[in-house]
Every structure is written in C-alpha cells, then in structure tokens.
Chains A and B, each alone.
Chain A
Amino acid sequence: MSNTSSIVEERRSKPKDYKKVFRGLAKYMSAEWPLLLLALAMVIIANVIVLYGPYFSGLAIDAMGEVSGEVHFPRVVRMVLFMLLAYALSAVLNYFLTRVMARASQKVIYQMRQDTFDKIVDLPISYIDSHQAGDLVSRISYDLDVVSQSLTNDLVQIVASTITVFGSFFMMLSISPIMSVIFLLILPVTIIFTRYRIKKTRPLFSERSRKLGQMNGYVEEILSGQKTIQAYNKQEFFSEGFEDINEDSIHAYYRADYQAAMNGPSVTLISNLSLALVSMFGALFFLRGVFSLGNLSAFVLYSRRFSGPINMIANIIADLQSALSAAERVFNLLDQPSEAADKADAVELRDVEGRVEFDRVDFSYVPDVPIIKDLSLKAPAGSLIAIVGPTGAGKTTLINLLMCFYDPQSGEILVDDHPITDVTRKSLRQSFAMVLQDTWLFNGTIRDNIAYGRPDASFADVQKAAKAAHIDTFIDAQPEGYNAHVSDGAENLSQGQKQLLTIARAMLLDAPMLILDEATSNVDSHTEIQIQDAMNRLIEGRTAFVIAHRLSTIQNADTILLVEGGEIKEQGTHEELLARNGAYAKLYNAQFA
C-alpha cells in the first residue's frame, strides 16, 4: 500500500479519545466566548424569525378569501410586509453572523496554528528526525484547515438545521396537529433511511479514497522513473500496469457513485411525498373546513424546508467526525513533550576556550543498537578532530551529541571542564559555529541570511564575513547586492554558492568551536578551491570537528575518528591508524590512494 493511501486511511478514522479532543477544542474556543456567544444568539434568532415567513405568507393567502372580490387588501399588504420583515431580518442577521463566525473561528484557528508551530520548533530534534516533514507540515496545512472549515460552517449549520427541523415541526403543530402527524411519520423514516445510507456508503467512499490514493502513488512513482523506463523501452509494460490500477480506482469510484446516486433523489422523494400528502390531506381537510388555504400554503412551504436539513445534518456529522479526528492529530502533537528545559542550576558558558572532552560516552538511537561505545577523547583548545568514513549515517552523531540535540545514555561530554548537561543550552550552542553539508538558507535577503546568528551585526561586519568566505564578488554581482533575495530552493544559487553563504554565516558568528561538514566535490574546481580556502580560514584558531573528505584535512588532524556502519571503529592520528593497518588503512588505500 502506498503512503498516500495510508494517509487517506488515517484521515478517515474516527477520533479515539473524544474527551481529549473536546477538552482541547473547548479550551481554544472558550478564549473567543464573547464572539461565539453572540454568534449563537444570532443563529438562533435568525432561524426562529425565518420560521415566521411561511406563517405570514399563509395569513396573506388567507386574507385573499376563497372567491374573487373577497380580498382584504390592507391585511394582505400587512402580512406580506411582515413576511418580508421576517426574511429580511434573518438575512441581515445571517450576514453579520457569517462575519462574526469568520472572526471567531479564524481567531481560534490562528491560536491553534501558532501553538502547533511553536510546538514543532520546540520539539526535541529526535522527534523531528523520526517523523516525516510532510506529516508535520500537514498538521497545519491540512488538519487545521479541516478544523477551520468545520468551525466556520458546520457549527452554524448544525444549530440552524436543528432549529429549522424542530421549529418547522412546531409551527406546523401549532397550525394543525392532525396534519403534523404526516411529518411525525416522515421524520423517523427519513432519519432511519439516512443513517442506513451513510452506513452503506461510508465504506465505499473510504475504499474509493484508498484506491485513488493507490493510483496517485503509482503515478507519482512510475512517472519519476519515466526516463529510466524509456531507456529500457518499457513504456508499454508500465502502461499495462497502470491499466489495472486505473480500472480499480475507476471501479471503486463508480461503486461509491452508484450507491450515492440514490441520495439526492431520495431526499427529493421525501420532500415530494410530503408535498403530495400535504396537498391531498390539506385539500380534504379544507373541504371539511378544518384547514384554511393559507394553512395549506404554509404547510407546503414548511414541508419543503423540512427534509433538506435532515440530510444536511447527516452530512455534517460525517464532516464533524473528520474534523474531530483532524483536531485529535493536532492535539496529539501538542501533547508531545518539548525539548527538556535547562537544569535549574545550569550555568552560562562564558569566555569559552574550546577544550572538549568525551568521557566514556555510550550512545544509541535505538535501544540495543549501539552507535558509540565507550568513547573517550580529549580535544585541547584549537585542535582538529577529523571524522572519516564511507557515505552513510553515523558521522552526524557526534554533532548531535556535542550540540545537545541528543543526550548520551552514559558518560559525559565536557566543554572547558563543564559537563554540557550542566550549562544552559543557549550558551553551549552559541559557543559552536556549524557548517553543514546540507546547507540551509531561508527565504530572505542575502544579508539576513548571513547575519542570521547575529542580527545586530553591522553591515561592515557582514561584508567582512562575506569577503572572508569568498562570496563577496558573487554578491556584488547581484543587481540588488546584499539585499538580493535567496531561498533554499533558489535556482539562482549553485550548491557551492549556498555553501559559501553558510560559511560566511559561521564566520560572522566567531564562535570558539566549530562543526564542519566538508563539501564533497560536487562543485567546479574553482569554487572548490575557494570553499577549501574559506574553510581553512574558518578552522584557524578554533576547536574544530570536521567531517572530512579531503586528505589534507585528515592528515593534519590531531585525532581521526573512523566511523563505519554507524559506529566508531578506530581512533588515532593518521600515522597511528595507518600503522595499525586496519579499516582506516583500507579506506585510505581504496578511496584516497
């Protein structure tokens, strides 16, 4: 089953813990109680008033008498005016109701969105690492949107429909209890029928979404391999595969449609049957003098209003259910613990010299799969630690530990003899500068991106950093210079230029310690030399942890850590490791020689 379909599947499910969801929603909605209360009052008044429309039009009809010449004009005009007044009042109320509800629901959603975002950036890195970005994004882009739609429309609709159904019935009851019996019969039949239909069609609709998801998955997957498929001349083979999937999804769509084809006509049938019964019995009762034509007219109009909302309530319940499960997914995220706070007695790191020590550190991401076993390492201030090994996970682990993104299971890491768990995270992280291979720029100007870590830096300082990182000529060549816009997906920047910008950002920080991920040579040789030079400048005078790809860096390192298969295999200087003739020597000979 493809990813898409399992998401669809998940979205269809009912919330597991109604209590929690309601409590959560109540908390957010209670903040807007004046607006919501106002809206509730308006929706009730508007829908009660509108019920008087048919009543007055019925009275107007009655005022016409039964034969020509009997029309009581002043009364007709008065009743028509009353009718218009009722409809107009409710229309005006509805207009303001929509505006009030838009404000109330948007304010609620605003707060929920903000809290969700705040939670995402406050989460521990381990949570972000172990969850798909798309999944987190969809909490805000999809789930909260569903909740928002539901808050804006469904709440009003459900109150309005309930009032219409019961109000219409009450009005009919007050006009003629006997005729109302017709609706007393129709109401339960409608409810039972609607519920039965929902039960029957619901699984068909989720099957349809599932199949559609499968088809989307197939299309996404196969199209991404189009060039490979053409290279093997296998377009027809995969088109045949699509035929089955397409057939499946169309069939599921049709099966759901086939059943749903009944819904519209059935609602109309109920409305039409009520009209027929009202007409027939109304005429009979009229003949017997227990029912006026105006009553009949009002009944006809009420009966038309009656069947729609019942069906609507059924639809809204389905909507509400998916809104509640969307809300539940949001609340589940909000319930995640944030990154733990600093210890109460945490001290601020100041005037850091850059001594780093690992003392018998054990670490694993998953229990029983150790990544680091008993690592001890002393890095004096200004020393260079190279981390080498084949491509793959593992090398970033040291960064995760140094920056306190993850905590070791046992052992200690010390900076300037302070265990890093005893200092404030802020001061620890600020004493490191970081250049990752996975460069990160945000949507903003070049200047803002360089000065991201030091927004107070003067323009001269920013320029100095750019110059040191060899990116100044490029920036000056931009029509807007330092105010040129960049973003992560920017096409106007090459990978190498992005890297240089992040180096400039690190230069500006001027932190005593450095974490550096050397670029592999996916840039032209000229840029590569510039990057190399910029990195060398950056390393100077700092305690540096470098994920190294270059021989020159490695040979100059004070300590080399060889990481393979996700764990540290060997540790020592270049000469020591070569002499050992182990994994490092093999790697060195195969890859660098």
Chain B
Amino acid sequence: MRSFLSVITFTICVAPVSAQPKDKQTDFAHEVVPLLKTKCTKCHTNGTYKGGVSFDTREALVKSKAVVPGKSAMSELHKRVVTRDADLRMPPGKAEPLTAKEAATLAKWIDDGLPWEPGFTFKPATYVAPLKPRKVNVPAAKPGLEHPIDRILDAYYTANKVTPPAQLDDFSFMRRAYLDLIGLPPSADEYYEQEGSLADLRRPALVRKLLNENRAYADHWLAFWNDALRNEYRGTGYIDGGRKQITAWLYQSLIENKPYDKFARELISPTPNSEGFAKGIKWRGEVNASQIVELQFAQNVGQVFFGANLKCASCHDSFIDNWKLADAYGMAAIIADKPLAVHRCDKPTGATASAKFLFPELGTIDTNAPKTKRLEQLAALITHPDNGRFSRTMVNRVWHRLMGRGIVHPVDVMGNKPWSEDLLDYLAVYFSDNGYDIKKLIEHIATSQAYQSKAVPLAKEIAGDGYVFRGPELKRLSAEQFLDAIWMLTSTAPVAKSGAFPGTLPPFPATTPKERQFIRVTLVDCDPLMRSLGRPNREQVVTTRPEQLSTLQALDLANGQILTTTLERGAANILKANPKATPDELAEWVFVRALARKPTEGERTAAKSLLGDKPTTESVADLLWAVVMLPEFQLVR
C-alpha cells in the first residue's frame, strides 16, 4: 500500500484568469506542507521524533498531543511557535522563528480541524529506485532451464512458493507470438503447415521469422510509438503550425530497427524530421505556466524515457515523489530559446531556470552553451552507459507489452518497486549490452519459457505491492489489432494508405503470406470505430490502452455501421473465394483464421446451424460477428 502513503494534492493550479473568491478553508498542500517542511519535519518525522512529537501523519500528530484539532489556543504546537521564551520556542535554538503570518497559517489550520490530505505522509517511501545499471548473477543453468530469464524466474518461483505456469500448446503460442510481435494472427497456410507437421513448432525460429518481417513489425509497433510520442494526431496545435509530425522518421526507424539509444538521441537532439516530439504542442492563447512547450518537453522526456512523472513538479515541488520544481524547470531550460522564468503554481518566483539534468549524478548540462549543444549534452546523458533508468524503463515497457503487466507497475512509475529487481536489472543490462536492439530484446523475452507459458486467469486486477508473478496475463487486442485481424480475416482492408501518411511504403518481403500484405490500421486515418475502441487522441502521452471492453464499445460492435458493413463485405469475399464450401468447411475456414484452431464438435454444430444448409452472405456475416465477439478472439491468451 506504499503508493497510498505518498499521496497528496494535485497540481493543477488556478487557471490564468479566474474570478474566484479566495477559498476560506486552509489549503493544506499549498499553505501548510511547505511551512512544516521548512520548520518542523527535520526533527519530527521519518524516524526522528524529538520530544515524542511526530508529524508523519495526521493521526501521529494528534496522538503526540501536540495539537487539539479545532482549538489552536489549546494546542501545544501553537503555543510553542508563538512564545517569546527562547527555551520553549519552536523551532528551537538558532533556527528562524515563524513569522506572524506563518504562525497565523498554522493556527488557522488547527482551527479548521487540521485538514490533511488522506494518505499523505512526510515519511518518504522506503524504496528508492537505483539509477546505475546492475549486473545480475544469473543462477546456474539446469537441464531444461537454460534461458537466463527462466533461471532468474526459477529462483523467484522458489522464493515466492509459486508453481511455475504450464507451457502453452503450439497453436496458442503461434497466435500469441504473431499478435504480440506483428499485430496479426497467423495465416491459414502457416497454421496448416504446423498442423500437418509431425514435429513440434520451432518456436525460436518462428519468433525470429516474425521479427524479420520488417514491414509487418513496423506497421504494428507504430501504434505503440505514436501513443508514446504523441504523434499522428490532427487536432489541437496543427491548426496554426504549433505541432509537427514525425511519422516519416518514426516509421523508417522501426523499419530499420534503429538502436534505442540512437532513436532517443535523435528525438532529443533532433533533425527536422524528428523534432516534432521535442517541440511539443504550442497552444493558441494563454496556457498555464506548467503547460508551456518547454515544460511539456520536460514532462514527456521524463515520462517516456524514465517513467518519471514530472507533471506535479512542473507546478511546484511534487508531493507524491521526490521531484522538485527545479528538476522540471532544469529540464525545460535545456530546450528553452530564451531565459525561462520559474513559475510556482502559475506565479513567477523571480528566479530564472538553469539547465539541469534529471539525474545530475550522471553529468551536467552547460547552461551557457547554445541550445543545440545543450540538447546534444542531454541526449548523451539520457543514453549514458551508467543511466540504468533509461534501459530499465524500456525493457519494462516491452515486458509489459508481451506479458500483460510490467515488472514495475504501472509502467510510468519507474520509482515503484519491481516484483523482481534481478529480472529487471538483468534485462536492462542485456538490452544495453546488445546495442539497445529492441528486436533482440523482444526475441530474448519471447524465447523464454515464461513467455511461452499459459496465461494466468485473474479474477481481478491486482494493484499495489502484493503482486506476485505467476505467468503472463491476458491482453486485450488494441483497436488496431482487432480491426487488422478482421481485415485480414475478411480481405476488407482499405486499398490505399492515408494521404496524410508520408512517403511510400516499403514492399513486403516475398516470404510474407498474401493475407498479410495489406494496408494496416496504423497507416490510415482514425475512423469512429477505431476511436471508439481506444485509438487515442494524442494530446497526452499514452503508454497503455484500456484493458476492458466497455458497454458503449460493445454497442458499436453490436450495431455500429462500420463493423456491420465490413463483415457483410467480408462475408461476400469469403463466399466468392470458397464457392463450393460446405457449412462445415466454412466454419473451419473462419475458426482457423480467427482463432488459430479448428472448431470443437460443439462449435461446429452451432456454426452449422447458424449458417444453414446453404450459407448466404447474411449467415456468413453473422458467423463472423459471433466469432469476433468471442473473448477468445478479442484477447491474446
């Protein structure tokens, strides 16, 4: 429950111009916390409790008998800060006493009943995420247990008294690997080839084959990166040139599997093709000081590359972690064209920000250097060999994509404790040792037994520190995966990419099956169904998609015109391609392509009764609908 203990208030400060009367109630977060932090907590929190007085929590403070909520005159705290007796006065000794105004703030706080942010504590979280990479001593291999990931997990299972998950059968593995790596289910030929083979599936070879399909890989992972880098969105900011696409650069980077350190450096210290990310979104009109493009840069770099949340610290010192206003502004100053005035809660503090890297222990940025130089320095520090946070954040994102949940959860809070530090640290070093090769990292994870295990059903989402890894989790298909799979199944993909998508698309390798050679969802503009299913507005960085189907989404699937029309067209295509197929053959045709398995007897019976003796466009469309609505279709298992 640690995450609750460090909670405090939000940072959205008052809008630029609000004609609001001053709130009468004491504002604990903004008025009281800073005061207590400078005057009291050094001697009265976090293990040091002079005079037995603890400010850790509201309960502790009341229990210490230092205050009587509602009655400042009767409170020792109030008496001690206003007394003229130097022996009794707090803070003691040479410390500066409270000003009359500060004392009044404290008195009012007590009189207001000691309002406190629920869950807030001055006691800092116990876990401190390490910065440097750490080489892990991987337990020795045993027969049948060669993969380093599995050796680490084996020790983990033993320590946590977990029965290792059972292995997945070949066809379930195929569907999972195809969907995870290239975003599509296997083709029918690929299914039947394995089905007709006497040998077990050569899984490592399959993983390599899929990753080598550059085009399909890029088409799939483009969605992930568009989300993370706020790319490919036509809304706010584009009207008056306040925003720039990086699609051409991004797509090329995926096609050529650009090493992640180089990728990051090109985003930070950019070329005209890749500068859209760093430039952010320039809004028309006045915006809150915490949302200027320079601070957007700080926030986005922090979130994307480090899983560090600088949103709070863009407005004031964060209450939920250790980031300070100076950290956010230090990062912002790196990209600022002009000296940047520091604002606290939208009001200038009078200070000017100087360039500072988030992890100054790795190196400094020369404030006086020109902007391009500063960005170069920043790019070098972000990808510094000693910057383990950079590699850990990325391996955790990839693990999350493949396994359904991060080693650190959630993926954007890399300050949280991983469920296995060994695994996280091992993967991070593996990643950097292998030239930050993302495909190699995916391959490494996907060839582990852990990835090849059966998914573990969870009755509900497990939050907090109680999580124990028992195997991969179910993953919902993204809007792109869901529709791509339907387009592939029904041959209904659009004939051309969006006009807004730059450049020409690379050809498919000759070995790519025909069914897979089509225009994918990521290459076309968002339509209402894609939007409904979760293809986001990219005003904020998005790193995870909704995991559950909502009622309104189900409604769009049940009677929305887009899906209905697609399935009708698809049914006609299927009948045209299989004019002589019996109902039974059609049922198998659909199941193999949609679910990478043949129907069971019961399913055959149900499908046949749906299709009738003489399948029609209507009945085939209905069968398609019934199949794509199955959780088995909509989930990666």
Does A associate with B in a complex?
no
